[in-house]
Amino acid sequence: MKMGLCSFCLKSGILCQKCLAKLKSGEVTETDLRVARLLMSLEEKFPSLQNVYFHKTIDADRTLAIVVGPGDVPRLLGYGGKIVRTLSEETGKNIRILENGVDDRKFLEDLFAPLSIMTINTIWLPDGTTETRVILRKRHGPRSSFDVKSLKEIASRVRNITLRVEYAD
């Protein structure tokens, strides 16, 4: 796994001046550090993690989003979901894996997976701002691990978009 901190610092848990400065400035958060170290500790068991670029985490209530490099999402979702399950157990949160540098549609698909998106459109409000309306295909059965409020917060913090979520009949 690669990220903005030295791998030596990440492994040892003792940060050099440069890494410490990133933590102090908020460029890297305590949660980022914790999740990055967790991912690093899983590399031996799940070797695909070695090639993952870790950008950051977004901690939104019961949901924790992890933003990784382009093409890295399958590397974390593989192994029958074991990596995500481990992360969820260790952090006590629902985990979303998002990809850096993708378009809005791909971002939203990852955010709402495994639900499928029927329509995405932009709504112009009278004050000149916009909302992005996402219509999801209704899925029967429990939706317990799905916290729309957290997902809206993540969309706002990662992409600066205001979401309106609806379900198709």
Please count the other Cβ atoms lying within 10 Å of the Cβ belonging to residue 111: 22
Quick one: which segment of 2-10, 113-121, 128-136, 158-166 binds Zn ion (CB under 5 A)? Answer: 2-10
The answer to whether residues 54 and 78 touch, using CB atoms and an 8 Å cutoff, is no
Q: Is 33 in the site for Zn ion (CB under 5 A)?
A: no
CB of 22 to Zn ion, least distance (A): 8
- Residue 19 binds Zn ion, judged by CB under 5 A: yes
Is 21 a binding residue for Zn ion by CB under 5 A? The answer is no
Near Zn ion by CB under 5 A: residue from 2, 7, 11, 16: 16
* Residue 87: CA count within 13 A, CB half-sphere: 28
Q: Which of 25, 88, 93 is nearest to 59 (CA)?
A: 93
Confirm or reject binding of residue 6 to Zn ion (CB under 5 A).
yes
Distance CA 104, CA 94 (A): 21
Give the Å distances, CA to CA, from 24 to 15, 30, 151.
11, 10, 27
**9 binds Zn ion, rule: CB under 5 A:** yes
CB closer to Zn ion out of 19 and 42: 19
Residues touching Zn ion, count (CB under 5 A): 4
For residues 5 and 64, which CB has a smaller minimum distance to Zn ion in the complex? 5
Interaction pattern, residues 34-53, with Zn ion; x per rule: CB under 5 A: --------------------
Query: Based on CB atoms, which residue is closest to Zn ion, 19 or 28?
Result: 19
Is there a contact between 49 and 83 (Cβ–Cβ < 8 Å)?
yes
Q: Which residues contact 87 (CB under 8 A, 6 or more apart)?
A: 35, 38, 39, 64, 66, 95
State which residue, 16 or 168, has the beta carbon closest to Zn ion.
Answer: 16
Query: Which range in 6-14, 45-53, 112-120, 133-141 contacts Zn ion by CB under 5 A?
Result: 6-14
CA–CA distance, 150 with 152 (Å, rounded to integer): 5
**Location of structure tokens 């460029």:** 27
Point out which residues bind Zn ion (CB under 5 A): 6, 9, 16, 19
